[in-house]
Homo-oligomer: A and B are copies of this chain.
């Protein structure tokens, strides 16, 4: 944990999957293994559970022996409640000194036996949905370093995935890039972050400033977005994140199969062009040089043969690369950044 006010996790990890045998309920654990294999020593599944995240099966004592520091709950309990069998193993792990990390709705500290075990061993209980207690008010001051923020036409349109893919793309091409997490799964993948939507409203832009601190001139923070300026339930969170992140570039994430906004079924989805325009207009408050560098489209619901035409039409309309990161990766967006002189050794301040 740095001196910034963010949640920090201690690696390496043991991913707890318990009795959950469905990939669907184990998305968090699988994401951590997929994106940060170097952080994960193993998984802990109960005796007869065959779910395999692709890492070694381990007991708590195996994990301790290999140097694991934190047990991460990598699954969501079916029905939302956690049972005695889970608690028993979590208590065993906490007693042995492993930090316990959860992104679930219940709080680890609500279980007295877990609290006692952690306090005896000195282990930490980390609920990644709970933001740091003290956060500063945002000040809008320009910080050194570069920032790329994911924004969206709605919630749940691939902002986390795109940020992770974009970070990987930049790193593979020799750029200095860091993924910055703003939600619970992202925090487990990054090993640090702030769940910005759980912060008291007045402090959200300050949280975003903590999240992407001053850095080297050519370093890129790639920031996971939240919500959408076009989703009336959560747009305030998105605007605070936009102002606090002071992005040099934004990538708009979009799901063309959606007709109405997720939590506001009476609201139509905006066009990608509208989304770019409003985001740039608001982002200029803290970074007048902001540009839209690309569009990330979830094309999974498109009929075969349609996706290429859709992406190339959109790209022609907007004049920027439009990709599905899951299909063709983010290379085209990187090339756009090269053309603009933002990366590739000749980046300008």
Contact = CB atoms under 8 A, between A and B. Distances in A.
Nearest to A207: B201
A230 B243 CA distance: 10
Contacts of A263: 137-140
Contacts of A144: none
B278 A138 contact: no
Interface string A169-185: 00000000000000000
Contact of A140 (B205, B240, B266): B266
Interface string A214-237: 000000000000000110111111
Interface stretch (A75-83, A159-167, A192-200, A338-346): A192-200
A282 interface: yes
A121 B196 CA distance: 40
A233 B138 contact: yes
A230 B198 CA distance: 23
Contacts of A141: 264, 266
A183 to B, nearest CB: 11
A93 interface: no
Contacts of A205: 232-236
**Size class of the contact patch on chain A:** 35 or more
B239 A138 contact: no
A186 to B, nearest CB: 16
Interface string A224-265: 000001101111111111011000000000000000010110
A204 interface: yes
Interface in A134-165: 137-142
Contacts of A244: 232
A313 interface: no
A137 B240 contact: no
A201 B285 contact: no
Contacts of A266: 140-142
Nearest to A233: B138
B232 A138 contact: yes
Given A200-B201, A202-B234, A205-B233, 9 more contacts: A137-B233, A140-B233, A140-B264, A199-B200, A205-B232, A229-B282, A230-B285, A235-B285, A236-B241
